Amino acid sequence: MPSPLQLPPVKLPPTVWNKIEVEAVKRAARGQDIIALHIGDTHLPFPNLMLVEAEDEKQIFSSLNRYNDTYGDPHLRERILQKVIQRNRLPADGIDAVQITAGATGGLYAVFSHLCEPGSEILTPAPYWSILRQVADAAQVRLVEVPFFDVLHEDPASDAAALLESLCSANTAGIYLNTPSNPTGMLLLEDNLRRILDFAKRKDLWIFSDEAYEDYIWNNDKHISVGALPGGFARTISIYTVSKCFGSSGIRIGYCVAPPHIISQINRGVVGTCYHPDRLGQLHTWRGMAGFDDIVDIFRRDYAPTYRWVCDNLKCEALPCVGGFYFFVKLGADWRAMTPEAKVERMLDAGIALAPGEYFGDKYAGWARLCFTVVPPDKLKVGIERLNRLLER
Q: For residues 102 and 249, what is the distance between their CA atoms, to the nearest angstrom? A: 10
Q: Are the C-beta atoms of 37 and 374 separated by less than 8 Å?
A: yes
User: How high is the pLDDT of residue 165?
Assistant: 97
Rounded to two decimals, the pTM is: 0.95
Tell me which residues of the chain have a pLDDT lower than 50: none
Structural domains for the chain: 16-45+294-392 (3.90.1150.10), 53-291 (3.40.640.10)
Closest CA to 209 of 276, 262, 163: 262
| 334-364 per-position pLDDT tens digit | 999 999 999 999 999 999 999 999 999 999 9
Helical ranges in 234-278 per DSSP H: 242-245, 260-271
User: How high is the pLDDT of residue 268?
Assistant: 97
User: How high is the pLDDT of residue 393?
Assistant: 74
User: How high is the pLDDT of residue 15?
Assistant: 75
User: How high is the pLDDT of residue 124?
Assistant: 98
User: How high is the pLDDT of residue 14?
Assistant: 72
Q: Which residues pair with 256 in a beta bridge?
A: 99, 239
How many other C-beta atoms are found inside a 10 Å radius of the C-beta of residue 304?
Answer: 12
